[in-house]
Chains A and B, each alone.
Chain A
Amino acid sequence: MVSAAEDTPMAGMGAAHRAWSRHSPRERWTRYAVTLLIGLAAYWSIYNIDIDPEWVMDAPVQIADLFIRMSPPDMSRLPSIASAIVETLNIATIATVLGVLVSMPVAWLAAQNTTPNRATLWLGRVILVSSRSVNTIIWALLFVAIFGPGALAGIIAIMFRSIGFLGKLMSEAIEEINRAPIEALEAVGASRMKIILYGIIPQVVPTFVAVTILRWDINLRESTVLGLVGAGGIGLILQGSIDTFAWQTVSTILLAIIAMVVAGEALAAWLRNKVM
Protein backbone atom coordinates (compact mmCIF):
# COMPACT_ATOMS: atom_id res chain seq x y z
CA MET A 1 0.00 0.00 0.00
CA VAL A 2 2.81 2.35 0.85
CA SER A 3 4.59 1.75 -2.43
CA ALA A 4 1.33 2.23 -4.31
CA ALA A 5 0.85 5.63 -2.67
CA GLU A 6 4.29 6.74 -3.81
CA ASP A 7 3.29 6.10 -7.39
CA THR A 8 0.34 8.50 -7.32
CA PRO A 9 0.72 12.07 -8.56
CA MET A 10 0.12 13.28 -4.98
CA ALA A 11 3.54 11.97 -4.02
CA GLY A 12 5.27 14.84 -5.79
CA MET A 13 3.58 17.47 -3.60
CA GLY A 14 5.75 19.73 -1.54
CA ALA A 15 8.68 19.41 -3.89
CA ALA A 16 8.31 22.93 -5.36
CA HIS A 17 7.50 25.88 -3.06
CA ARG A 18 5.21 28.23 -4.92
CA ALA A 19 4.63 31.65 -3.43
CA TRP A 20 1.07 32.94 -2.96
CA SER A 21 -0.31 36.07 -1.42
CA ARG A 22 -3.72 37.70 -1.61
CA HIS A 23 -2.36 41.01 -2.91
CA SER A 24 0.47 41.91 -5.22
CA PRO A 25 3.13 44.22 -3.69
CA ARG A 26 1.74 47.11 -5.67
CA GLU A 27 -1.79 46.48 -4.33
CA ARG A 28 -0.44 46.16 -0.79
CA TRP A 29 1.33 49.52 -0.88
CA THR A 30 -1.76 51.16 -2.35
CA ARG A 31 -3.81 49.83 0.55
CA TYR A 32 -1.30 51.13 3.10
CA ALA A 33 -1.36 54.55 1.43
CA VAL A 34 -5.17 54.71 1.37
CA THR A 35 -5.38 53.70 5.07
CA LEU A 36 -2.82 56.36 5.97
CA LEU A 37 -4.75 58.99 4.00
CA ILE A 38 -8.05 58.16 5.71
CA GLY A 39 -6.30 58.37 9.10
CA LEU A 40 -4.81 61.76 8.24
CA ALA A 41 -8.16 63.06 7.03
CA ALA A 42 -9.88 61.93 10.23
CA TYR A 43 -7.15 63.56 12.36
CA TRP A 44 -7.31 66.78 10.36
CA SER A 45 -11.09 67.08 10.63
CA ILE A 46 -11.16 66.43 14.38
CA TYR A 47 -8.28 68.89 14.87
CA ASN A 48 -10.10 71.41 12.72
CA ILE A 49 -13.45 71.45 14.53
CA ASP A 50 -11.54 72.44 17.64
CA ILE A 51 -13.12 70.25 20.31
CA ASP A 52 -12.35 71.49 23.78
CA PRO A 53 -11.31 68.39 25.77
CA GLU A 54 -12.42 69.95 29.03
CA TRP A 55 -16.02 70.17 27.76
CA VAL A 56 -15.90 66.55 26.66
CA MET A 57 -14.59 65.37 30.04
CA ASP A 58 -17.20 67.50 31.73
CA ALA A 59 -20.12 66.10 29.74
CA PRO A 60 -21.32 63.33 32.12
CA VAL A 61 -21.44 65.80 34.99
CA GLN A 62 -23.35 68.28 32.84
CA ILE A 63 -25.83 65.62 31.73
CA ALA A 64 -26.52 64.64 35.32
CA ASP A 65 -26.85 68.29 36.31
CA LEU A 66 -29.26 69.07 33.46
CA PHE A 67 -31.32 65.98 34.25
CA ILE A 68 -31.68 67.10 37.87
CA ARG A 69 -32.68 70.58 36.81
CA MET A 70 -35.21 69.17 34.33
CA SER A 71 -37.02 66.94 36.77
CA PRO A 72 -39.71 66.78 37.78
CA PRO A 73 -41.40 68.12 34.61
CA ASP A 74 -43.32 71.31 35.30
CA MET A 75 -46.96 70.71 34.43
CA SER A 76 -48.19 74.21 35.22
CA ARG A 77 -47.75 75.40 31.65
CA LEU A 78 -49.46 72.34 30.18
CA PRO A 79 -52.43 74.27 28.70
CA SER A 80 -50.18 76.55 26.63
CA ILE A 81 -48.01 73.58 25.63
CA ALA A 82 -51.11 71.67 24.52
CA SER A 83 -52.28 74.53 22.36
CA ALA A 84 -48.78 74.79 20.83
CA ILE A 85 -48.92 71.05 20.08
CA VAL A 86 -52.24 71.58 18.33
CA GLU A 87 -50.72 74.43 16.32
CA THR A 88 -47.79 72.19 15.35
CA LEU A 89 -50.19 69.49 14.21
CA ASN A 90 -52.13 72.04 12.19
CA ILE A 91 -48.98 73.39 10.54
CA ALA A 92 -47.92 69.86 9.52
CA THR A 93 -51.36 68.87 8.25
CA ILE A 94 -52.21 72.05 6.36
CA ALA A 95 -48.73 72.12 4.81
CA THR A 96 -49.07 68.48 3.72
CA VAL A 97 -52.47 69.11 2.11
CA LEU A 98 -51.18 72.19 0.27
CA GLY A 99 -48.00 70.33 -0.69
CA VAL A 100 -50.02 67.48 -2.21
CA LEU A 101 -52.20 69.90 -4.19
CA VAL A 102 -49.20 71.76 -5.62
CA SER A 103 -47.03 68.70 -6.17
CA MET A 104 -49.59 66.88 -8.32
CA PRO A 105 -49.29 69.20 -11.34
CA VAL A 106 -45.51 69.35 -10.77
CA ALA A 107 -45.35 65.53 -10.78
CA TRP A 108 -47.34 65.53 -14.02
CA LEU A 109 -44.79 67.95 -15.55
CA ALA A 110 -41.81 65.99 -14.24
CA ALA A 111 -42.94 62.56 -15.49
CA GLN A 112 -41.57 61.70 -18.92
CA ASN A 113 -44.77 60.05 -20.12
CA THR A 114 -47.16 62.88 -19.24
CA THR A 115 -45.14 66.07 -19.67
CA PRO A 116 -46.21 68.10 -22.74
CA ASN A 117 -42.67 68.73 -24.02
CA ARG A 118 -38.99 68.81 -23.09
CA ALA A 119 -39.15 72.36 -21.73
CA THR A 120 -41.94 71.48 -19.30
CA LEU A 121 -40.07 68.33 -18.27
CA TRP A 122 -37.09 70.45 -17.27
CA LEU A 123 -39.32 73.01 -15.58
CA GLY A 124 -40.82 70.21 -13.47
CA ARG A 125 -37.41 68.80 -12.60
CA VAL A 126 -35.99 72.21 -11.67
CA ILE A 127 -38.92 72.79 -9.28
CA LEU A 128 -38.38 69.39 -7.68
CA VAL A 129 -34.62 69.77 -7.30
CA SER A 130 -34.77 73.31 -5.90
CA SER A 131 -37.43 72.32 -3.40
CA ARG A 132 -35.46 69.28 -2.27
CA SER A 133 -32.06 70.87 -2.03
CA VAL A 134 -33.14 73.49 0.53
CA ASN A 135 -33.75 72.36 4.11
CA THR A 136 -37.06 73.14 5.83
CA ILE A 137 -35.34 75.37 8.40
CA ILE A 138 -33.73 77.42 5.65
CA TRP A 139 -37.07 77.75 3.83
CA ALA A 140 -38.54 78.83 7.20
CA LEU A 141 -35.87 81.52 7.70
CA LEU A 142 -36.71 82.82 4.24
CA PHE A 143 -40.47 82.91 4.80
CA VAL A 144 -40.17 84.41 8.28
CA ALA A 145 -38.34 87.27 6.57
CA ILE A 146 -41.18 87.56 4.03
CA PHE A 147 -44.34 86.90 6.08
CA GLY A 148 -42.99 87.78 9.51
CA PRO A 149 -42.80 85.30 12.40
CA GLY A 150 -45.71 82.91 12.96
CA ALA A 151 -47.40 79.78 11.75
CA LEU A 152 -47.98 81.04 8.18
CA ALA A 153 -44.24 81.15 7.48
CA GLY A 154 -43.97 77.63 8.93
CA ILE A 155 -46.78 76.26 6.79
CA ILE A 156 -45.31 77.71 3.59
CA ALA A 157 -41.81 76.47 4.52
CA ILE A 158 -42.95 72.90 5.11
CA MET A 159 -45.10 72.99 1.99
CA PHE A 160 -42.14 74.10 -0.11
CA ARG A 161 -39.95 71.31 1.20
CA SER A 162 -42.78 68.76 0.73
CA ILE A 163 -43.33 69.64 -2.94
CA GLY A 164 -39.97 68.20 -3.95
CA PHE A 165 -40.39 65.01 -1.95
CA LEU A 166 -43.99 64.35 -2.98
CA GLY A 167 -43.50 65.45 -6.59
CA LYS A 168 -40.43 63.27 -7.07
CA LEU A 169 -42.08 60.09 -5.77
CA MET A 170 -45.36 60.82 -7.54
CA SER A 171 -43.71 61.47 -10.89
CA GLU A 172 -41.86 58.17 -10.54
CA ALA A 173 -45.19 56.45 -9.88
CA ILE A 174 -46.61 58.05 -13.02
CA GLU A 175 -43.63 56.84 -15.05
CA GLU A 176 -44.06 53.27 -13.83
CA ILE A 177 -47.71 52.80 -14.83
CA ASN A 178 -48.86 49.97 -17.04
CA ARG A 179 -49.13 51.17 -20.67
CA ALA A 180 -51.78 48.62 -21.73
CA PRO A 181 -54.92 50.38 -20.41
CA ILE A 182 -53.65 53.65 -21.86
CA GLU A 183 -53.46 52.02 -25.29
CA ALA A 184 -57.05 50.81 -24.90
CA LEU A 185 -58.25 54.31 -23.99
CA GLU A 186 -56.43 55.79 -26.98
CA ALA A 187 -58.18 53.23 -29.17
CA VAL A 188 -61.54 54.28 -27.72
CA GLY A 189 -60.92 57.86 -28.87
CA ALA A 190 -60.44 59.40 -25.42
CA SER A 191 -58.72 62.78 -25.20
CA ARG A 192 -55.48 63.39 -23.27
CA MET A 193 -57.29 64.65 -20.19
CA LYS A 194 -59.69 61.72 -20.16
CA ILE A 195 -56.77 59.31 -20.48
CA ILE A 196 -55.15 60.92 -17.42
CA LEU A 197 -58.47 60.65 -15.58
CA TYR A 198 -59.22 57.01 -16.40
CA GLY A 199 -55.86 55.50 -17.28
CA ILE A 200 -53.26 57.21 -15.12
CA ILE A 201 -54.94 58.44 -11.93
CA PRO A 202 -56.50 55.08 -10.92
CA GLN A 203 -53.09 53.45 -11.32
CA VAL A 204 -51.18 55.98 -9.19
CA VAL A 205 -53.71 56.55 -6.39
CA PRO A 206 -52.26 53.89 -4.03
CA THR A 207 -48.75 55.35 -4.31
CA PHE A 208 -50.03 58.91 -3.92
CA VAL A 209 -51.84 58.02 -0.71
CA ALA A 210 -48.89 56.12 0.74
CA VAL A 211 -46.46 58.91 -0.10
CA THR A 212 -48.79 61.54 1.38
CA ILE A 213 -49.08 59.66 4.67
CA LEU A 214 -45.32 59.23 4.83
CA ARG A 215 -44.74 62.94 4.19
CA TRP A 216 -47.30 63.93 6.83
CA ASP A 217 -45.39 61.78 9.29
CA ILE A 218 -42.13 63.55 8.38
CA ASN A 219 -43.76 67.00 8.44
CA LEU A 220 -45.07 66.39 11.96
CA ARG A 221 -41.48 66.02 13.16
CA GLU A 222 -40.15 68.88 11.05
CA SER A 223 -42.80 71.28 12.32
CA THR A 224 -41.58 70.83 15.90
CA VAL A 225 -38.32 72.65 15.11
CA LEU A 226 -39.82 75.49 13.06
CA GLY A 227 -40.26 77.58 16.20
CA LEU A 228 -36.49 77.78 16.62
CA VAL A 229 -36.44 80.28 13.75
CA GLY A 230 -39.73 81.88 14.73
CA ALA A 231 -41.99 80.06 12.31
CA GLY A 232 -44.61 78.93 14.83
CA GLY A 233 -45.43 75.69 16.57
CA ILE A 234 -44.14 74.03 19.72
CA GLY A 235 -40.55 74.99 18.93
CA LEU A 236 -41.37 78.59 19.76
CA ILE A 237 -42.07 77.95 23.45
CA LEU A 238 -39.29 75.37 23.57
CA GLN A 239 -36.83 78.04 22.48
CA GLY A 240 -38.32 80.49 24.97
CA SER A 241 -38.06 78.02 27.84
CA ILE A 242 -34.44 77.17 27.02
CA ASP A 243 -33.56 80.88 26.84
CA THR A 244 -35.08 81.50 30.28
CA PHE A 245 -33.49 78.35 31.78
CA ALA A 246 -36.96 76.99 32.59
CA TRP A 247 -35.62 73.44 32.37
CA GLN A 248 -38.60 71.82 34.05
CA THR A 249 -40.87 73.31 31.36
CA VAL A 250 -38.41 72.17 28.69
CA SER A 251 -38.76 68.57 29.84
CA THR A 252 -42.56 68.81 29.70
CA ILE A 253 -42.31 70.14 26.14
CA LEU A 254 -39.94 67.37 25.08
CA LEU A 255 -42.29 64.75 26.54
CA ALA A 256 -45.21 66.36 24.72
CA ILE A 257 -43.28 66.28 21.42
CA ILE A 258 -42.41 62.62 21.90
CA ALA A 259 -46.04 61.81 22.68
CA MET A 260 -47.22 63.65 19.56
CA VAL A 261 -44.68 62.03 17.25
CA VAL A 262 -45.41 58.54 18.57
CA ALA A 263 -49.17 59.09 18.22
CA GLY A 264 -48.66 60.48 14.71
CA GLU A 265 -46.56 57.52 13.68
CA ALA A 266 -49.17 55.10 15.03
CA LEU A 267 -51.91 56.93 13.13
CA ALA A 268 -49.83 56.89 9.94
CA ALA A 269 -49.21 53.15 10.28
CA TRP A 270 -52.91 52.51 10.86
CA LEU A 271 -53.88 54.64 7.85
CA ARG A 272 -51.36 52.86 5.65
CA ASN A 273 -52.82 49.48 6.57
CA LYS A 274 -56.31 50.77 6.01
CA VAL A 275 -55.62 52.14 2.53
CA MET A 276 -53.27 49.51 1.09
Chain B
Amino acid sequence: MLKISNLVKCYGDSKAVLSDLNLEVPGQSCIAIIGASGAGKSTLLRCINRLVEPTSGTIELNGVNLTHLQGSSLRMARRRIGMIFQGFNLIDRLTVMENVLSGRLGYVPFWRAALRKYPQEDIDRAFHLMERVGIAHYANKRADELSGGERQRVGVVRALMQEPEILLADEPTASLDPKTSVQIMELLRSLSEEYRLPVLINIHNVQEAKEFTQRIVGMRFGRIIFDGLPSDLDAEAMDHVYDGVPAAEREDAQGVILRAAAG
Protein backbone atom coordinates (compact mmCIF):
# COMPACT_ATOMS: atom_id res chain seq x y z
CA MET B 1 0.00 0.00 0.00
CA LEU B 2 1.21 3.47 -0.95
CA LYS B 3 0.40 6.34 1.37
CA ILE B 4 1.30 9.92 0.49
CA SER B 5 0.68 12.52 3.20
CA ASN B 6 0.97 16.30 3.05
CA LEU B 7 3.40 16.15 0.15
CA VAL B 8 4.87 19.52 -0.87
CA LYS B 9 7.34 20.20 -3.64
CA CYS B 10 8.72 23.64 -4.49
CA TYR B 11 11.44 24.35 -7.03
CA GLY B 12 13.53 27.15 -5.55
CA ASP B 13 11.38 29.97 -4.20
CA SER B 14 8.72 29.68 -6.86
CA LYS B 15 5.12 28.59 -6.36
CA ALA B 16 4.65 25.03 -5.10
CA VAL B 17 4.32 22.39 -7.83
CA LEU B 18 2.73 20.06 -5.31
CA SER B 19 0.94 21.56 -2.34
CA ASP B 20 -0.27 19.50 0.58
CA LEU B 21 -1.10 16.48 -1.51
CA ASN B 22 -2.62 13.35 0.03
CA LEU B 23 -3.17 10.07 -1.77
CA GLU B 24 -3.68 6.47 -0.73
CA VAL B 25 -3.36 3.46 -2.99
CA PRO B 26 -4.43 0.31 -1.15
CA GLY B 27 -3.09 -2.84 -2.81
CA GLN B 28 -3.69 -3.90 -6.37
CA SER B 29 -5.35 -1.32 -8.61
CA CYS B 30 -4.82 0.55 -11.83
CA ILE B 31 -5.04 4.28 -11.28
CA ALA B 32 -4.96 7.08 -13.83
CA ILE B 33 -3.69 10.52 -12.88
CA ILE B 34 -5.06 13.18 -15.20
CA GLY B 35 -4.59 16.92 -15.35
CA ALA B 36 -3.39 19.69 -17.62
CA SER B 37 0.29 20.04 -18.41
CA GLY B 38 2.06 21.57 -15.42
CA ALA B 39 -0.48 20.27 -12.92
CA GLY B 40 2.31 18.33 -11.17
CA LYS B 41 1.58 14.76 -12.34
CA SER B 42 5.13 14.02 -13.38
CA THR B 43 6.58 15.58 -10.26
CA LEU B 44 4.25 13.48 -8.10
CA LEU B 45 5.44 10.22 -9.67
CA ARG B 46 9.10 11.25 -9.43
CA CYS B 47 8.70 12.16 -5.77
CA ILE B 48 7.62 8.59 -5.05
CA ASN B 49 10.93 7.08 -6.22
CA ARG B 50 12.83 10.24 -5.23
CA LEU B 51 14.08 11.13 -8.70
CA VAL B 52 12.67 14.42 -7.48
CA GLU B 53 13.34 15.37 -3.87
CA PRO B 54 10.11 16.29 -2.00
CA THR B 55 10.25 19.53 -0.03
CA SER B 56 8.14 18.15 2.80
CA GLY B 57 5.57 15.49 3.63
CA THR B 58 5.90 11.73 3.73
CA ILE B 59 5.59 8.88 1.27
CA GLU B 60 5.19 5.38 2.65
CA LEU B 61 5.33 2.22 0.58
CA ASN B 62 4.26 -0.96 2.40
CA GLY B 63 5.20 0.52 5.76
CA VAL B 64 8.59 1.95 4.69
CA ASN B 65 8.96 5.72 4.79
CA LEU B 66 10.75 6.61 1.56
CA THR B 67 11.25 10.30 2.20
CA HIS B 68 14.45 10.23 4.24
CA LEU B 69 16.29 7.30 2.71
CA GLN B 70 19.86 7.95 1.53
CA GLY B 71 22.53 6.10 -0.41
CA SER B 72 22.20 2.34 -0.50
CA SER B 73 18.93 2.22 1.45
CA LEU B 74 17.41 4.56 -1.15
CA ARG B 75 18.65 2.27 -3.93
CA MET B 76 17.21 -0.74 -2.07
CA ALA B 77 13.84 1.02 -1.97
CA ARG B 78 14.05 2.11 -5.61
CA ARG B 79 14.62 -1.41 -6.86
CA ARG B 80 11.14 -2.33 -5.66
CA ILE B 81 9.56 0.60 -7.56
CA GLY B 82 9.23 0.06 -11.30
CA MET B 83 9.03 3.08 -13.60
CA ILE B 84 7.90 3.38 -17.20
CA PHE B 85 8.71 6.53 -19.17
CA GLN B 86 7.14 8.55 -21.94
CA GLY B 87 10.36 8.40 -24.00
CA PHE B 88 11.01 4.74 -23.04
CA ASN B 89 14.49 5.74 -21.72
CA LEU B 90 16.17 2.61 -23.05
CA ILE B 91 19.91 2.35 -23.64
CA ASP B 92 19.80 2.41 -27.43
CA ARG B 93 23.13 0.81 -28.18
CA LEU B 94 22.57 -2.18 -25.90
CA THR B 95 20.50 -5.21 -26.86
CA VAL B 96 16.91 -5.76 -25.79
CA MET B 97 18.09 -8.47 -23.38
CA GLU B 98 20.67 -6.18 -21.78
CA ASN B 99 18.04 -3.48 -21.37
CA VAL B 100 15.68 -5.97 -19.79
CA LEU B 101 18.37 -7.33 -17.46
CA SER B 102 19.30 -3.77 -16.43
CA GLY B 103 16.13 -3.99 -14.35
CA ARG B 104 18.16 -6.29 -12.07
CA LEU B 105 20.99 -3.78 -11.54
CA GLY B 106 19.77 -3.02 -8.04
CA TYR B 107 20.14 -6.70 -7.11
CA VAL B 108 23.20 -8.16 -8.86
CA PRO B 109 26.82 -7.43 -7.86
CA PHE B 110 28.95 -5.17 -10.07
CA TRP B 111 31.05 -7.93 -11.65
CA ARG B 112 27.95 -9.79 -12.81
CA ALA B 113 26.59 -6.61 -14.37
CA ALA B 114 29.94 -5.85 -16.04
CA LEU B 115 30.47 -9.35 -17.46
CA ARG B 116 26.77 -9.81 -18.31
CA LYS B 117 26.84 -12.98 -16.15
CA TYR B 118 23.36 -12.70 -14.71
CA PRO B 119 22.00 -15.45 -12.45
CA GLN B 120 20.04 -18.13 -14.31
CA GLU B 121 16.79 -17.24 -12.56
CA ASP B 122 17.09 -13.63 -13.84
CA ILE B 123 17.58 -14.89 -17.38
CA ASP B 124 14.60 -17.24 -17.03
CA ARG B 125 12.51 -14.42 -15.67
CA ALA B 126 13.60 -12.16 -18.53
CA PHE B 127 12.59 -14.69 -21.19
CA HIS B 128 9.33 -15.44 -19.43
CA LEU B 129 8.37 -11.75 -19.26
CA MET B 130 9.54 -11.01 -22.82
CA GLU B 131 7.39 -13.89 -24.04
CA ARG B 132 4.49 -12.57 -21.99
CA VAL B 133 4.59 -9.20 -23.83
CA GLY B 134 5.67 -10.66 -27.18
CA ILE B 135 9.23 -9.39 -27.63
CA ALA B 136 11.26 -12.54 -26.85
CA HIS B 137 12.34 -12.94 -30.49
CA TYR B 138 14.04 -9.51 -30.28
CA ALA B 139 16.27 -10.50 -27.34
CA ASN B 140 19.53 -10.01 -29.25
CA LYS B 141 18.46 -7.04 -31.33
CA ARG B 142 19.70 -3.59 -30.50
CA ALA B 143 17.04 -1.59 -28.64
CA ASP B 144 17.06 1.21 -31.22
CA GLU B 145 16.02 -1.18 -33.99
CA LEU B 146 12.57 -1.68 -32.45
CA SER B 147 9.39 0.29 -33.11
CA GLY B 148 7.87 2.60 -30.51
CA GLY B 149 5.36 0.08 -29.17
CA GLU B 150 8.01 -2.64 -28.94
CA ARG B 151 10.40 -0.28 -27.20
CA GLN B 152 7.78 0.56 -24.62
CA ARG B 153 7.27 -3.18 -24.01
CA VAL B 154 10.99 -3.42 -23.30
CA GLY B 155 10.51 -0.58 -20.82
CA VAL B 156 7.62 -2.42 -19.17
CA VAL B 157 9.58 -5.68 -18.92
CA ARG B 158 12.59 -3.84 -17.47
CA ALA B 159 10.32 -2.46 -14.74
CA LEU B 160 8.81 -5.90 -14.07
CA MET B 161 12.29 -7.44 -13.81
CA GLN B 162 12.70 -5.40 -10.63
CA GLU B 163 10.04 -7.54 -8.93
CA PRO B 164 8.34 -4.28 -8.11
CA GLU B 165 5.85 -3.61 -5.37
CA ILE B 166 4.40 -0.77 -7.46
CA LEU B 167 4.59 0.48 -11.04
CA LEU B 168 4.81 4.16 -11.93
CA ALA B 169 4.06 5.01 -15.56
CA ASP B 170 4.77 8.58 -16.70
CA GLU B 171 2.76 9.22 -19.88
CA PRO B 172 3.56 5.72 -21.14
CA THR B 173 1.51 6.11 -24.31
CA ALA B 174 2.14 9.76 -25.21
CA SER B 175 4.85 8.88 -27.76
CA LEU B 176 2.81 6.12 -29.40
CA ASP B 177 0.19 5.97 -32.14
CA PRO B 178 -3.45 5.45 -31.01
CA LYS B 179 -3.53 1.72 -31.73
CA THR B 180 -0.24 0.91 -30.01
CA SER B 181 -1.15 3.14 -27.12
CA VAL B 182 -4.34 1.14 -26.52
CA GLN B 183 -2.28 -2.06 -26.56
CA ILE B 184 0.13 -0.70 -23.96
CA MET B 185 -2.74 0.44 -21.71
CA GLU B 186 -4.33 -3.00 -22.01
CA LEU B 187 -0.99 -4.58 -21.14
CA LEU B 188 -0.57 -2.40 -18.05
CA ARG B 189 -4.06 -3.23 -16.86
CA SER B 190 -3.65 -6.98 -17.27
CA LEU B 191 -0.17 -6.98 -15.70
CA SER B 192 -1.59 -5.10 -12.75
CA GLU B 193 -4.08 -7.94 -12.28
CA GLU B 194 -1.63 -10.77 -12.98
CA TYR B 195 1.04 -9.58 -10.56
CA ARG B 196 -1.38 -7.99 -8.08
CA LEU B 197 0.39 -4.66 -8.53
CA PRO B 198 -0.70 -1.12 -7.87
CA VAL B 199 -0.07 0.83 -11.10
CA LEU B 200 -0.07 4.63 -11.24
CA ILE B 201 -0.42 6.01 -14.77
CA ASN B 202 -0.02 9.65 -15.70
CA ILE B 203 -2.07 10.12 -18.81
CA HIS B 204 -3.35 12.85 -21.09
CA ASN B 205 -5.86 10.72 -22.96
CA VAL B 206 -8.95 10.83 -20.76
CA GLN B 207 -10.79 8.32 -22.94
CA GLU B 208 -8.06 5.72 -22.36
CA ALA B 209 -7.95 6.57 -18.68
CA LYS B 210 -11.66 5.90 -18.36
CA GLU B 211 -11.49 2.69 -20.35
CA PHE B 212 -8.48 1.01 -18.78
CA THR B 213 -8.30 2.12 -15.16
CA GLN B 214 -10.39 1.51 -12.08
CA ARG B 215 -9.85 4.86 -10.45
CA ILE B 216 -9.14 8.35 -11.72
CA VAL B 217 -7.29 11.05 -9.84
CA GLY B 218 -7.59 14.55 -11.24
CA MET B 219 -4.87 17.08 -10.44
CA ARG B 220 -4.80 20.81 -10.78
CA PHE B 221 -2.26 23.31 -9.47
CA GLY B 222 -0.46 20.62 -7.48
CA ARG B 223 -3.56 19.37 -5.67
CA ILE B 224 -5.92 16.47 -6.12
CA ILE B 225 -9.31 17.90 -7.01
CA PHE B 226 -10.99 14.75 -8.26
CA ASP B 227 -10.70 11.21 -6.98
CA GLY B 228 -13.26 8.63 -8.00
CA LEU B 229 -14.49 5.97 -10.37
CA PRO B 230 -14.17 6.53 -14.11
CA SER B 231 -17.96 6.68 -14.32
CA ASP B 232 -17.98 9.59 -11.84
CA LEU B 233 -15.81 11.70 -14.13
CA ASP B 234 -18.56 13.66 -15.85
CA ALA B 235 -18.37 16.80 -17.97
CA GLU B 236 -18.50 19.05 -14.92
CA ALA B 237 -15.66 17.23 -13.18
CA MET B 238 -13.61 17.37 -16.38
CA ASP B 239 -14.11 21.13 -16.63
CA HIS B 240 -12.98 21.42 -13.08
CA VAL B 241 -9.80 19.45 -13.75
CA TYR B 242 -8.94 21.10 -17.03
CA ASP B 243 -9.90 24.62 -15.94
CA GLY B 244 -11.46 27.06 -18.40
CA VAL B 245 -11.41 24.81 -21.45
CA PRO B 246 -15.07 24.00 -22.22
CA ALA B 247 -15.84 20.34 -22.73
CA ALA B 248 -17.09 20.69 -26.31
CA GLU B 249 -13.97 22.47 -27.43
CA ARG B 250 -11.74 19.90 -25.78
CA GLU B 251 -13.59 17.02 -27.43
CA ASP B 252 -13.24 18.79 -30.76
CA ALA B 253 -9.52 19.09 -30.18
CA GLN B 254 -9.34 15.44 -29.20
CA GLY B 255 -11.23 14.47 -32.37
CA VAL B 256 -8.87 16.49 -34.54
CA ILE B 257 -5.86 14.84 -32.93
CA LEU B 258 -7.32 11.36 -33.38
CA ARG B 259 -8.23 12.04 -37.00
CA ALA B 260 -4.75 13.42 -37.64
CA ALA B 261 -3.13 10.38 -36.03
CA ALA B 262 -5.37 7.97 -37.96
CA GLY B 263 -4.83 9.76 -41.27
Q: Which A residues are closer than 8 A to B by beta carbons? A: 180-181, 183-191, 193-194, 197-199, 202-203, 205-206
Contacts and interface: CB of A to CB of B under 8 A. Distances in A.
A233 to B, nearest CB: 37
B91 A181 contact: yes
A189 B102 contact: no
B87 interface: yes
A194 B51 contact: no
B37 interface: no
Given A189-B74, A202-B94, 8 more contacts: A184-B85, A188-B105, A188-B106, A189-B105, A191-B72, A198-B94, A198-B102, A202-B91
Given A180-B85, A194-B105, A197-B113, A187 B49 contact: yes
Nearest to A184: B89
The binding surface of chain A is classed by DSSP as helix
Interface in B31-52: 49, 51
B114 A188 contact: no
B222 interface: no
Interface size band for B: 20 to 34
A189 B89 contact: no
Interface of B: 49, 51, 72, 74-81, 83, 85, 87-94, 98, 102-103, 105-106, 110, 113-114, 155, 158, 162
Contact of A187 (B83, B87, B88): B83
B113 A184 contact: no
B102 A187 contact: no
Contact of B78 (A187, A197, A199): A187
Nearest to B108: A194
5 pairs of A and B residues whose beta carbons are closest in the complex: A189-B106, A189-B79, A189-B78, A184-B89, A190-B105
B158 A191 contact: no
Contact of B75 (A181, A184, A191, A206): A191
Contacts of A203: 91-93
Contacts of A189: 74-80, 105-106, 162
Contacts of A197: 110, 113-114
B99 to A, nearest CB: 9
Given A202-B93, A203-B91, A188 B51 contact: no
